[in-house]
């Protein structure tokens, strides 16, 4: 097991020239990505294995990370996806009966370069003021690079805006998870970075879940004779996913019931003819309040998104692409961001946040039931 308190130097460099010197954590070397912060107090294993974090260096705002170790039961996908990891105080010991290895060892195994021992509160406050930005972690020999060279490597890296990362996280061949309760039918899931908890929730509602590659065609979807289509969460800029939008328009044209989560919400927005934009520093964590406008209920929800949909918050409006009336169904209470869409004339809805919510909370889990009921009603 690697030492949690290594003396190897490491430095975090942000694109505006800000530097934070700390200690190496995880693998050593160089990594570049968009620096974002996640506010969850627990569930770091689920965060690390969420494909939506591909291309990003994740900063944990909770100061004490790693105490429960890592296990083979909680991952949300097949690997750790973050480009880098920033923590303040790694746990001295792993103390959980389910732990199989330390977080540090898991980061080393997956080649994830990290840094510890820096003031993560200061970095978070800086990002909240200046916005998410590119950054680099340099450790081992890379920590000794000239400061100007480190900054050049950061500023030469691509921005998150304009990137299509779906191919990097999607399955290459179809995978099937059978229903675990009375069967409704086949569900086509476009894998843009789907989480295991989502698949489990859909199977628990009666769907035979067919996870399909991100480059599947409408004919490939038709081939499984689906009762509905689902678009998953995932990384990247929705404006760079034109093929997925056109595929979704084909789905909507055939009036197949549709449900989208996170990236899927943004792509539904674009399919309906709405715009999307990049948030200053995004929503990431498991403590975000959202209003369900239909019930008036406030839900505490899990988020991981850096882009959002542009739409009127009040009343219904006409879809610019001719799909009838649409309304914003959910609103984020911290900043009034669109957190859900509902089409009124076709069977389609989506939410920007994560109702599967691993590692919690589960206030929004009812949305999977709502989807199953919509599919049943559409078949009646």
Query: From its phi and psi, is residue 6 left (phi > 0), alpha (psi between -120 and 50) or beta?
Result: beta
CA 261 to CA 329: how far, in whole Å? 13
Determine the pLDDT at residue 63: 87
Strand partners, 9: 23
Contact present, 218 and 251 (Cβ < 8 Å):
yes
Annotated binding site: 52, 234, 236, 263, 266, 304, 306-307
* Residues in contact with 106: Cβ distance below 8 Å, sequence separation at least 6, in sequence order: 48, 70, 80
Query: From its phi and psi, is residue 324 left (phi > 0), alpha (psi between -120 and 50) or beta?
Result: left
Q: What percent of the chain has pLDDT over 90?
A: 87
Query: Per residue in 158-191, pLDDT tens?
Result: 998 889 999 999 999 999 999 999 999 999 999 9
Determine the pLDDT at residue 286: 87
pLDDT over 50 (residue 150): yes
Instruction: Give which of 44, 1, 6, 41 is closest to 25, Cα–Cα.
Output: 6
CA 47 to CA 135: how far, in whole Å? 19
Task: Show me where the domains of the chain are located.
Answer: 9-155, 166-379
Q: Is 166-379 in the same CATH topology as 9-155?
A: no
Catalytic site includes residue 354:
yes
| Band (6; pLDDT cuts 50, 70, 90) | low
Q: Please tell me the least confidently modeled range out of 224-233, 286-295, 318-327.
A: 286-295
Please give the DSSP secondary-structure letter assigned to residue 333.
Answer: T
pLDDT over 80 (residue 97): yes
Q: Please tell me the least confidently modeled range out of 82-86, 215-219, 233-237, 360-364.
A: 360-364
Determine the pLDDT at residue 5: 56
Helix locations, 11-87, DSSP H: 44-48
Contact present, 325 and 316 (Cβ < 8 Å):
yes
Q: Across all residues in the chain, what is the average pLDDT?
A: 94
CA 300 to CA 171: how far, in whole Å? 31
- Please pick, among 262, 299, 305, 339, the residue that the annotation labels catalytic: 262
pLDDT over 50 (residue 197): yes
Determine the pLDDT at residue 358: 76
Query: From its phi and psi, is residue 273 left (phi > 0), alpha (psi between -120 and 50) or beta?
Result: left
Determine the pLDDT at residue 307: 97
CA 227 to CA 225: how far, in whole Å? 7
Mean pLDDT of 61-66: 90
| Band (60; pLDDT cuts 50, 70, 90) | very high
pLDDT over 80 (residue 3): no
Query: Per residue in 234-280, pLDDT tens?
Result: 999 999 999 999 999 999 999 999 999 999 999 999 999 999 999 99
pLDDT over 90 (residue 7): no
Sign of the CA dihedral running 114, 119, 125, 131: negative
Strand partners, 211: 175, 189
DSSP sequence for 115-179:
EESS-HHHHHHHHHHH-SEEEEEEEGGGGGS-HHHHHHHHHTSPPSTT---HHHHS-SS-EEE--
Annotated binding site for L-glutamine: 52, 234, 236, 263, 266, 304, 306-307
- Please pick, among 20, 303, 305, 354, the residue that the annotation labels catalytic: 354
The structure tokens 């309304």 sit at: 327
Return the CATH number of the domain spanning residue range 166-379: 3.40.50.880
CA 17 to CA 49: how far, in whole Å? 29
pLDDT over 70 (residue 88): yes
- Please pick, among 34, 46, 327, 356, the residue that the annotation labels catalytic: 356
Determine the pLDDT at residue 357: 81
Residue 376 parent element (H or E): helix 366-379
Mean pLDDT of 138-160: 95
Mean pLDDT of 126-155: 96
Query: Per residue in 310-337, pLDDT tens?
Result: 999 999 999 999 999 999 999 999 999 9
Q: Please tell me the least confidently modeled range out of 108-117, 228-237, 264-273, 354-363.
A: 354-363
Query: Per residue in 16-44, pLDDT tens?
Result: 999 999 999 999 999 999 999 998 888 89
pLDDT over 70 (residue 71): yes
pLDDT over 70 (residue 76): yes
Return the CATH number of the domain spanning residue range 9-155: 3.50.30.20
């Amino acid at each position: 097991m690697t030492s949690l308190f290594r003396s190897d130097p490491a430095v975090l460099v942000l694109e505006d020239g800000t530097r934070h010197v700390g200690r190496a954590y995880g693998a050593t070397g160089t990594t570049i990505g968009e620096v974002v912060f996640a506010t969850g107090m627990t569930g770091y294993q689920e965060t690390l294995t969420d494909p939506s974090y591909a291309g990003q260096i994740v900063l944990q705002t909770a100061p004490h990370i790693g105490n429960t170790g890592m296990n083979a039961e909680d991952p949300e996908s097949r690997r750790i996806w973050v480009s880098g990891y920033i923590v303040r105080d790694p746990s001295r010991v792993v103390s959980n009966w389910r732990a199989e290895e330390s977080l540090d060892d898991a980061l080393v195994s997956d080649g994830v370069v990290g840094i510890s021992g820096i003031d993560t509160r200061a970095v978070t406050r800086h990002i909240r003021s200046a916005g998410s930005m590119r950054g680099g972690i340099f450790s081992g020999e890379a920590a000794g690079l000239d400061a100007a060279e480190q900054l050049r490597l950061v500023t030469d890296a691509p921005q998150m805006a304009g990137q299509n990362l779906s191919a990097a996280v999607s399955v290459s061949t179809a995978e099937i998870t059978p229903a675990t309760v009375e069967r409704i039918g086949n569900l086509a899931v476009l894998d843009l970075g789907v989480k295991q908890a989502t698949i489990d929730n859909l199977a628990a509602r009666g769907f035979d879940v067919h996870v399909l590659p991100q480059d599947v065609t409408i004919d490939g979807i038709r081939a499984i004779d689906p009762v509905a289509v689902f678009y998953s969460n995932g990384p990247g800029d929705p404006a760079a996913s034109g093929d997925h939008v056109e595929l979704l328009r084909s789905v909507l044209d055939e009036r197949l019931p549709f449900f989208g989560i996170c990236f899927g919400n943004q792509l539904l927005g674009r399919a309906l003819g709405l715009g999307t934009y990049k948030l200053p520093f995004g929503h990431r964590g498991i403590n975000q309040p959202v209003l369900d406008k239909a019930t008036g209920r406030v839900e505490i929800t899990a988020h991981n998104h850096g882009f959002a949909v542009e739409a009127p918050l009040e009343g219904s409006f006409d879809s610019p692409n001719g799909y009838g009336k649409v309304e914003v169904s959910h609103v984020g209470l911290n900043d009034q961001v669109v957190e859900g869409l509902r089409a009124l004339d076709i069977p389609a809805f989506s939410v920007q946040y994560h109702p599967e919510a691993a590692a919690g909370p589960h206030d929004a889990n009812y949305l999977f039931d709502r989807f199953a009921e919509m599919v049943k009603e559409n078949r009646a």
